[in-house]
Amino acid sequence: MQAAIKAEVYFFTHEPYRVVTKNKKIKWILDNTVIVRDENGEIVNFVGYLTDITELKEKELELENLARIDQLTKINNRLYLDEVLMQQYYRFNRYSEECSIVLIDIDYFKAVNDEYGHLVGDKILIEFAALLQKSIRTDDIVGRWGGEEFLIVLPHTYLDKAAFLAEKLCKIVAEHEFSVVGHKTASFGVATFVHGMSVEQCVDMADAALYEAKESGRNMVKVAKQA
């Protein structure tokens, strides 16, 4: 309101906000206000009207959620992970806020599809995603990178700590008994943001480390060689 008065406008719309009703329900409100002035331009009154936009806002939030969620595993999708990576990359360059990433690939996943069929393969992906989700820290962000690959973004995390967390996850996966197929393992590639290096180059480093883990026998963690 103060900004509207300073700008000498006669009408303004507040950003949508939430209110709690007497029966404890949450409603989204659109708040419009008219600033009434006299012939001398002095403010004499404010006339406002509120519109309940709860249904519209819930639909909007639902669509936003659909856009960021992988529809099979119900964790974050590649599009959202790309956004998170760019946000963290900005914070790293602007505030020197450390960030590491872990790229994960389920070992011999093609064999699962070949032997048990794609429905079982999908079930394993869902279970694997849920296992990762419940095993990471609160601030970590996990998502499906593509196929049987997953990516975890670790804010405020140095490379050695990221490697330690990846080792922990590697052990958790190996000890877990999945539906139908029993035990499965995964390979992990770890990298961290480096000044002068793009997000894509950081992901490439994690991918190279992951490839090294698979070439070295799988079911292990490899850390990217820093430039």
Which phi and psi (to 5°) does residue 163 adopt? -65, -40
Q: How far apart are CA 221 and CA 167, in angstroms?
A: 6
Q: Compute the Cα dihedral for 22, 26, 27, 29 and give only its sign.
A: positive
Distance CA 147, CA 143 (A): 11
CA 47/CA 34 separation, integer angstroms: 5
Question: Which tokens hold the place of 198?
Answer: 């793009």
Active site residue 148: yes
Give CA 164 to chain center in angstroms: 21
Q: Is 4 helix (H, G, I), strand (E, B) or coil?
A: helix
Look up residue 4 and give its two tokens.
């509207």
Cβ proximity of 35 and 9 under 8 Å: yes
Query: In angstroms, rounded to a whole number, what is the distance separating the alpha carbons of residues 178 and 156?
Result: 32
Please give the helix or strand (H or E) that residue 88 lies within, else none: helix 78-95
Taking the C-alpha atoms of residue 125 and residue 113, their distance in angstroms, rounded to an integer, is 11
Catalytic residue among 8, 97, 98, 148: 148
- Active site amino acids: 148
